[in-house]
Amino acid sequence: MRSWQARLLEIYLIAKRRFADPSGKLDVARERADVESMASLFKPLHAIRCQPAVANGVPAEWIVPEGLTTSRAILFLHGGSFNSGSISSHRTLAGNVAFASKARALLIDYRLAPEHPFPAAVEDSIAAYEWLLEQGCAPGEIVVAGDSAGGNLALALLIFLRDHNRPLPAAAVCLSPAPDLTFSGESWAFNATKDLMLDERKERQAIEIYLRGADPRAPLASPTFGELAGLPPLLIQVGSHEMLLSDATRFAEKARRAGVDVTLEVWPEMQHEWQFAARILPEGRQAIMQVGGFVETACSSSAQRGRTAAA
């Protein structure tokens, strides 16, 4: 059963939707402002230190939980339908994941559509990962994480690294990911009235300006259509009320069939990216703590495999 806090947040989202533009027309400037405004409502679970960085030309920020000294790094790729979101909007979410994972997070400002369509965001994600390696981060101590569109980018990054024989990270974490940009999942229909965060009309326009004519079934655009064998362990969290539900579950099933170690968590009655509200939602805190446990286990397992190989 949902917490009373989750029910209260749902009432807020219902009221917010009633005052939204009913036309369904995508206004990128307004979307960007809305993402920043919504994110400002949520505060981190733990004090964090923030240090600007530039990762192979990509604006970035190190987010380190206070009192933590670690070599473990999380490359965090923010969501926002590929046209919104920033370091500012996702500092809290990345910080919470870092805190739970006993890690520091590198949060990047990848290029956004429509100014920079596909594959610019993928290229920036690759550049940032390569920068972490150049800084001396061991692949087995790196985890790639992303929410929504960032989850898509995290999976695309893994596919690129594998295909180009680059060192793979210890694992990846995908929060409410969007691995299929064709809108073919069944939950786009059966969760249309339950999902209070996403508007399918706007999402279709967002993907159109992101792809700008590129094939939506290309593996780096929609990882669901790629070859998935050889990817590192994955944690996928999705809410049962999300329109992205079937996209996430279908990707998980395909990855498992390809031999990937996949942990799929479907959280009952949760909205898209409920993890953002960890400070106020018990379900959000629980989800973030699950992420932390997964990251620690994945990095420990990666270190053990490295010791075994060296022996």
Q: What CATH number does the domain containing 245 carry?
A: 3.40.50.1820
In what helix (H) or strand (E) does residue 102 lie, and over which residues does it extend? none
Walk along the chain (311 residues) and give the pLDDT tens digit of each residue.
Answer: 899 999 999 999 999 888 888 899 999 999 999 999 988 889 999 999 999 999 999 999 999 999 998 899 999 999 999 999 999 999 999 999 999 999 999 999 999 999 999 999 999 999 999 999 999 999 999 999 999 999 999 999 999 999 999 999 999 999 999 999 999 999 999 999 999 999 999 999 999 999 999 999 999 999 999 999 999 999 999 999 999 999 999 999 999 999 999 999 999 999 999 999 999 999 999 999 999 999 999 998 876 666 555 54
Tokens of 267: 């959280």
Question: pTM of this prediction?
Answer: 0.97
By CB neighbour count within 10 A (0-12 exposed, 13-18 middle, 19+ buried), where does 214 fall? middle
What integer pLDDT is reported at residue 311 of this predicted model? 46
- Domains identified in the chain, total number: 1
Tell me which residues are annotated as active site.
Answer: 148, 242, 272
The H-assigned helical ranges of the chain are: 4-18, 28-39, 87-101, 120-134, 149-163, 187-190, 200-211, 245-257, 282-310
By CB neighbour count within 10 A (0-12 exposed, 13-18 middle, 19+ buried), where does 53 fall? middle
pLDDT digit string (tens) for 81-114? 999 999 999 999 999 999 999 999 999 999 999 9
Note down the domain range covering 109.
Answer: 4-18+25-310
User: What distance lies between CA 150 and its chain's CA centroid?
Assistant: 4
Write the CB contacts of 281 (distance below 8 Å, at least 6 apart in sequence). 3, 5, 6, 9, 274
